[in-house]
């Protein structure tokens, strides 16, 4: 996931009850989080940011597959053995993930965690895996083998050694839940930016919309486009930093969970959606589905738009999005 540049104009409102922007950057869930709230004073601003940090930490403990005490780890330990009862929150997250898998024909799949790590997108990888190794690497992957019992809130992975993981939607989900919690506490405006999984609400103190600048994948020091963001989420995913070349063919780090082969043809996807969780999942899925199928699928989903940049630097966009491209 690549970072979205965010332009915030620190302008003081002229009204008598002027609010200010308060910001903190910290590391959570193993990633950079940029937390921004609009509040009346520094005491209130610091309080809201601490509430956000506590909520993100709570989410990590629930969904982390690295924490041996998490419910996700318990599900993975009991793969092929028995169903595991989980909190409704985790059950609902898994249920939504499976729905996205169906929507994307398996391009998105939380059971990707079962995949053997045979691709190493670094200099130590000197040759491609064999066809047999690639086929074997995805034998335990398949969302169809995640069995849910809604009445009892249990999750069962059918195959021994199967695993689920939330690397593709976890930070987006954390951004969504933190946003909703802060709104419930009375925060009128803010941004949760989880390493590029961004959710916003409200406006800046000067009454203007928050504005995001999409990174130019051909030049990471420049923005490609400026877009206002109103009450929604945006996620940009890029594969141009982690890839290997074999026989003149570029293989990037986003892998098709159905085939075991890296996706090709796209270097950057930006998705705008009502939630960061959905935008996160769809951004990854479009890489796997490809430009044409990805655009067609996005055009069928209400309130979701995307910008795709292919390996030739060409820009493709969904039907209803308007881009204000930067010219310098």
pLDDT value for 165: 96
Range of the domain at 282: 5-62+172-325
**pLDDT tens digits, residue range 243-286?**
788 888 888 888 999 999 998 889 889 999 999 999 999 999 99
Distance between CA 289 and CA 140 in Å, rounded?
21
All residue ranges of the chain with pLDDT < 50 are: 1-16, 327-328
pLDDT value for 216: 66
Which among 157, 180, 215 is the end of a domain? 157
**pLDDT tens digits, residue range 166-175?**
988 999 999 9
pLDDT value for 186: 95
Residues 266, 317, single domain; the answer is: yes
Residue 319 belongs to some domain of the structure: yes
Residues 141, 194, single domain; the answer is: no
- CA pseudo-torsion sign 257, 115, 121, 32: positive
CATH code of residue 145: 1.10.3980.10
Q: Closest by alpha carbon to 281, among 29, 109, 25?
A: 109
Residues 28, 127, single domain; the answer is: no
Residue 165 belongs to some domain of the structure: no
Neighbours of 266 (CB within 10 A): 25
210, β-bridge pairs: 229
Residue 272 belongs to some domain of the structure: yes
Which among 133, 157, 181 is the end of a domain? 157
Distance between CA 323 and CA 328 in Å, rounded?
15
């Amino acid at each position: 996931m690549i970072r979205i540049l965010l332009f915030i104009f620190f302008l003081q409102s002229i009204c008598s009850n002027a609010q200010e922007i308060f910001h903190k950057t910290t590391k959570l869930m193993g990633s950079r989080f940029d937390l921004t709230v609009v509040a009346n004073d520094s005491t209130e601003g610091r309080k809201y940011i601490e509430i956000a940090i506590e909520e993100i930490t709570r989410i990590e403990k629930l969904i982390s597959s690295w924490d041996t005490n998490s419910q996700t780890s318990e599900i993975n330990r009991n793969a092929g053995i028995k169903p595991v009862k989980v909190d409704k929150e985790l059950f609902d997250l898994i249920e939504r993930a499976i729905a996205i898998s169906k929507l994307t024909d398996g391009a998105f799949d939380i059971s990707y965690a079962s995949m053997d790590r045979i691709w190493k997108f670094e200099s130590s990888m000197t040759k491609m895996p064999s066809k047999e190794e690639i086929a074997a690497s995805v034998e335990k992957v398949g969302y169809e083998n995640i069995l849910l019992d809604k009445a009892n809130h249990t999750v069962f992975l059918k195959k021994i050694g199967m695993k689920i993981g939330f690397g593709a939607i976890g930070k987006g989900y954390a951004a969504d839940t933190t946003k909703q919690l802060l709104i419930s506490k009375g925060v009128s405006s803010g941004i949760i930016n989880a390493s590029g999984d961004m959710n916003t609400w409200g406006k800046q103190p000067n009454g203007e919309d928050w504005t995001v600048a999409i990174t130019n994948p051909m030049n990471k020091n420049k923005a490609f486009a400026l877009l206002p963001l109103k009450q929604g989420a945006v996620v940009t995913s890029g594969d141009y930093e982690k890839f290997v070349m074999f026989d003149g063919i570029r293989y990037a780090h986003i892998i098709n969970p159905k085939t075991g082969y890296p996706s090709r043809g796209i270097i950057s996807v930006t998705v705008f959606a009502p939630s960061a969780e959905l935008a996160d999942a769809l951004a990854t899925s479009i890489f796997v589905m490809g430009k044409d199928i990805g655009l067609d699928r996005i055009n069928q989903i209400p309130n979701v738009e995307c910008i795709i940049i292919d390996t030739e630097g060409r820009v493709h966009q969904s039907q209803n999005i308007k881009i204000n491209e930067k010219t310098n």
